Amino acid sequence: MNHIDRREFIKLGLAAGSILALGSSDLTIKAFGKRETPQKVLVLGLDGIDPHLLQVWMREGKLPYFQMLARQGDFIPLITSIPPQSPVAWSNFITGTNPGGHGIFDFIHRDPERYFPEFSASETTEAKKTVRIGKLVLPLSGGNVKNMRKGRAFWQILEDYDIPATVFKIPANYPPVATKQRTISGMGTPDILGSYGIFNYYTTETKELKEDIGGGRIHPVNVIANKVEARIPGPVNTYKKDRPESSIEFKVFIDPVNPVAKISIQDHEFILKEGEWSSWKRIHFRMIPTQSVSGICMFYLKQARPNFKLYVSPININPGQAALPISTPKRYAEELEKRFGPFFTKGLPADTKALDNDVLDDGEFLEQDNLVLRERLNIFDYELARFSSGLLFYYVSSTDQRQHMFWRLIDKEHPSYDPGLAKKYGNTIENIYKEMDKLLAKAMEKVDKDTVLIVMSDHGFSPFRRSFNLNTWLKESGYHTLINPWKQGREDLFLNTNWSRTKAYSFGLNSLYINQKGREAEGIVKPGAEKEALVREIAHELEDFRDPKTGERPVLRAYIAKDVYQGPYVEEAPDIIVGYNHGYRTSWAAPLGRIPKEIVEDNTEKWSGDHCMAPEVIPGILLTNRKIKVKSPALYDLTPTILQIFGIEIPKEIIGKPIF
Amino acid sequence: MWIFNSAFGKIFKLIFFPFRGMNPWVGMILISFLTALLMLFVFRFSSNQEGIRRVKNKIKAHLLELRLFKDSLSLSFKAQRNIFRYNLKYISYSAKPLLVMIIPLILILIQLNLWFGYEPLVPGQETILKVELEEGRSPLDIDLALEPSAGFDIQTLPLRIEEESEIDWRLRAREKGVHDLTFIVNGQRLTKKVAVAQKPLSKISPMKVRRSFINELINPGESPLPRDLPIKTIRVKYPAKDMNLFGWNIPWLLGIPPWLIVYFVLSIILGFVFKGIFKVEI
């Protein structure tokens, strides 16, 4: 997963639509309960585990269970998707196809009619029929939230054959597709604002008062008589004509001397010491007397004095009273909530935006991610203990999030490398690999001779040292023209683009589109030979380009969609998929149509490791307790492998081949 | 007042003693049954049973009249007027037993709140201990210390809120049992009881109050605080108790706690069930 979508999308207010119009959607209620299967499959999906790092630490004896599993069965790099973005990669695994078969090509797609970015994974629409009574707007029908991934998920196929499956937090499954299997959505699940996660930060420190930061809202507050009064913004109230933002007021009482504060919000009252996290708090945004939206959040008292600093996590959907569909059956999330209390439901739970914006420091971010990890491990123990038939898929996100944020502390060549921090947090990535080794230990204890254990990641990781402004390169190469060249770099969404003289543009993290006549609103390139020639020319030139600072090629490979994709949705694909080289990635500006002046820049952000490169650069991992017979397995090969284990005929849409 | 509270509280302790380890529903059904009997008893001996029987018959007769003479407007009006008149009379006959019942019922409800209103803490659970000072008293000026206890960890330094004349601590329950939290205020020792992981049906006193008739009446769980100290209340925040009916948690209704809803419903149902046996006209 990548952070450009959240950063920019949230800022642009393009997040998914109102949560309120949806009501609660019960996709399926019938109880899970199927036949006993002689064979079982346990899949651990460890996002972003890198084969190179894994090998190094296995060799050093730091990961004994990974080593043991590799000895018992096999360990091989796993070919990832083109591009290796998480929604694309996991969709390959879920459907056994490539993007041509499931229609997810990037985190961000675009509407060619408007040259406007769209979330690729899900679409939310509000209630179509409403009735207005005075200032109230009452919906007469439910809204809708739609999973945009095409193709059948492997657990849906298992269901056809009465084989039980529990699929925990697999990415690219929001809202969860209709099934009677136990599933809970992972990456792609929004917070209750319908965004990918917006934190709130309350501070008296004036230097921190730049309110316009992606992924968070900074609230200036005053401490008056040792008390702070503030509000937590909630979802837009679609029950009211002018759609005001809902909110919840809260008070913080600070001791005049001691570094402690009491927070009073709705029916909660709790005391925090400085540097302490609260437990989950259930809060309710009242819309109209009979309707409210329930969410959960955590508070972190960063500082009581001299400056007051309070962080409130993005408000997650309350799994006990989910306002949006996050599980199948609906009561699965409720069951987990009842057993474990509230838990992170937002797709990517750790708040990387807060770390990026210095609202949380490295240690604080790690504490938060440790909370995520602890929750995951607790639920894992529970699911593992009751796993007795069929398939269990279990996903961990902390591996990915920590590599994104802490790569700068293991890479001395990274522009954000800090020796002091490296000394303190340089082992963060190694530690999360060790945590996964412990997780694997539990799984290996559980597996018997009839259980196939698969440990996989969707991609590996690479340093992200230099940012490539793809749209700037297009402009400098004569494929993209601006209306006012002097305004370059100031506007997003191609507001300064002269479309009548533009041949190509890029939206998303790896996607490049030709401004094609008849497809784009103001397309100028004729489909057919003219377009084909242009695509090949751009691909060739991209691969030839060299970074003036390092002399390296930022683009390792430019893939032409129709050469690498198969399936019914190839026509919807970007024309070129840009595969970046080791150390390079698209810039923070390019994915949403901004055109800075420099083609390549240093990446000075804390988000310093990435995987939106060429797939050759960052394969994932595949470890199993069986011998793998295929030389170079790919993500989409795992799907037919699972079906084959259960003796199911492989549907013809699946392009992968079984690996055993 | 404390002597009365203590004695009255012991009656409930005695009633619930055999049922402490059982599901709280057992105790609830029992006390609802006893309340129904008490209500029937009070009704039987404090109301005009003959009068009630008579007005009820009158109401029935006029209802019949209303149906029989529905074509006659004047008779229908007359019947309605009489129904209304006898209803008022019926209410007046019921008022006396209700007035007799009201004070014992309030006392019972106050006691029941201690048994059914709160869930004890469990080891590891955090709570807020709140000391409320008399109005206008600054928490910075008072000499108040909380002594460490085997049953609890004191997790925070005192949080003093001048605006609210309040001092708070966060505690974490450590061991099972009923523990004494000890305060030293102006050299005087005070204790407050805190319940951790008790039996399913346990008496829990969330608040200890300063000596005064009303305060003690409403908070009878513990001996009162001396009047000469600047402390109004000492309160421990307990979670509210759920009343779970076959997996369904009975919700709060317009601010009424679940146990109270259950208690009233059960008492009324049982009252109606047994009124024939005890020949009580309600």
Domain end among A312, A338, A358: A312
SS (H, E, C) chain B: CHHHHHHHHHHHHHHHHHHCCCCHHHHHHHHHHHHHHHHHHHHHHHCCHHHHHHHHHHHHHHHHHHHHCCCCHHHHHHHHHHHHHHHHHHHHHHHHHHHHHHHHHHHHHHHHHHHHCECCECCCCEEEEEEEECCCCCCCCCCEEECCECCEEECCCCEEECCCCEEEEEEEECCCEEEEEEEEECCEEEEEEEEECCCCCCCCCCEEEECCHHHHHHCCCCCCECCCCCEEEEEECCCECCCEECCEECCCECCECHHHHHHHHHHHHHHHHHHCCCCCCC
Contact list in A for residue B162 (CB cut-off 8 A) is 225-226, 256
Residue of B nearest to A338 (CA): B247
Considering the domain architecture, whether residues A180 and A31 belong to the same structural domain is answered as yes
pLDDT for the residue numbered A546: 98
Judge whether A143 and A126 are in contact, CB under 8 Å: yes
Clarify whether residues A325 and A444 are in a common domain: yes
What ipTM does this complex have?
0.85
In a domain, A650, yes or no: no
Instruction: Express each pLDDT in A373-415 by its tens digit.
Output: 999 999 999 999 999 999 999 999 999 999 999 999 999 999 9
Question: Which residues of A fall within a CB distance of 8 Å from B168?
Answer: 262, 271
Q: What is the mean pLDDT of residues B52-65?
A: 93
In-domain check, residue A2: no
pLDDT at B247: 80
CA atoms lying within 13 Å on the CB side of residue B22:
10
Question: Is there a domain that residue A357 lies in?
Answer: yes
A373, A502: one domain: no
Interface with A, mutate which of B125, B129, B159 (most A CBs under 10 A): B159
Contacting residues of B for A255, CB less than 8 Å apart: 157-161
Per-residue DSSP letters for A425-470? HTTHHHHHHHHHHHHHHHHHHH--TTEEEEEE-S---EEEEEEE-H
Q: Are residues A44 and A178 in the same domain?
A: yes
Q: How confident is the model at residue B281 (pLDDT cuts 50, 70, 90)?
A: confident
Stated as kind and residue range, the H or E segment containing A636 is: helix A635-645
Same domain, A365 and A329: yes
pLDDT of A514 above 90: yes
Residue A264 sits at the chain B interface (C-beta within 8 Å): no
pLDDT band at residue A348 using 50, 70 and 90 as cut-offs: very high
Residues A179 and A42 in one domain: yes
User: Which tops the pLDDT comparison, B112 or B248?
Assistant: B112
Question: Does one domain contain both A576 and A633?
Answer: no
**Contact yes or no for B156 and A273 at CB 8 A:** yes
Closest partner CB to A226 (pick from B128, B157, B162) = B162
Same domain, A278 and A410: no
Q: Does B155 touch chain A (CB under 8 A)?
A: yes
- Cα(A377)–Cα(A260) distance, integer angstroms: 31
Instruction: State the nearest Cα–Cα gap between B96 and chain A, in angstroms.
Output: 39
B162–A256: do the CB atoms touch at under 8 Å? yes
Would you say residue A211 has pLDDT above 70? no
Same domain, A262 and A162: no
Which of the listed residues A297, A312, A327 is the one where a domain comes to its end? A312
Provide, as residue numbers in chain B, all residues whose Cβ is less than 8 Å from the Cβ of A273: 155-157
* A653 located within any domain: no
The answer as to whether A11 is a domain residue is no
Residue A206 has what pLDDT? 72
Residue A590 exposed, middle or buried by CB count within 10 Å (0-12, 13-18, 19+): buried
Looking at residue B61, its pLDDT comes to 94
Which residues of chain B are within 8 Å of residue A261 when distances are taken between CB atoms? 159
Decide if A596 is inside a domain.
Answer: yes
Query: CA-CA-CA-CA torsion for A366, A372, A374, A378, nearest 10 degrees?
Result: -170
Q: Which domain holds residue A570?
A: 465-610
Domain count, chain A: 3
How confident is residue A131, by pLDDT bands cut at 50, 70 and 90?
confident
pLDDT at A1: 41
Contact predicate A501/A637, CB 8 Å: no
Domains of chain B: 2-117+251-275 (no CATH), 127-236 (2.60.40)
User: What pLDDT shows up at residue A10?
Assistant: 34
At which of A265, A297, A312 does a domain end? A312
Give the residue on A whose Cα is nearest the Cα of B125: A279
- Please provide residue A631's backbone torsions phi and psi, each rounded to the nearest 5 degrees: -75, -45
Which residues does chain A have within 8 Å of residue B156's beta carbon, measured at their own beta carbons?
A: 258, 260, 271, 273
User: Could you give the CA distance from residue A215 to residue A3 in angstroms, rounded to a whole number?
Assistant: 10
- Torsion angle in degrees (nearest 10) through CA of B104, B105, B108, B112: -170
Is A174 found in the same domain as A30? yes
Looking at the fold, whether A507 and A566 belong to one and the same domain comes out as yes
Q: Evaluate whether residue A657 is within a structural domain.
A: no
B168:A262 CB<8 A: yes
Residue A269, chain B, CB below 8 Å: the answer is yes
pLDDT at A580 over 60: yes
Question: Between chains, do A255 and B157 touch, taking CB under 8 Å as contact?
Answer: yes
Query: Closest chain B residue to A252 measured between Cα atoms?
Result: B161
Which residues of B, range 171-230, sit inside 8 Å of A by Cβ?
Answer: none
For A356, the 3-state DSSP assignment is helix
On chain B, the residues whose CB falls within 8 A of the CB of A227 are 161, 163
Q: Look at residue A67 and tell me whether its pLDDT is greater than 50.
A: yes
CB-CB under 8 Å, A226 with B161: yes
What percentage of chain A reaches a pLDDT higher than 70? 94
Q: Within this chain, do residues A213 and A173 fall inside the same structural domain, yes or no?
A: no
Residue A293 lies in a domain: yes
Average pLDDT on B244-265 reads: 91
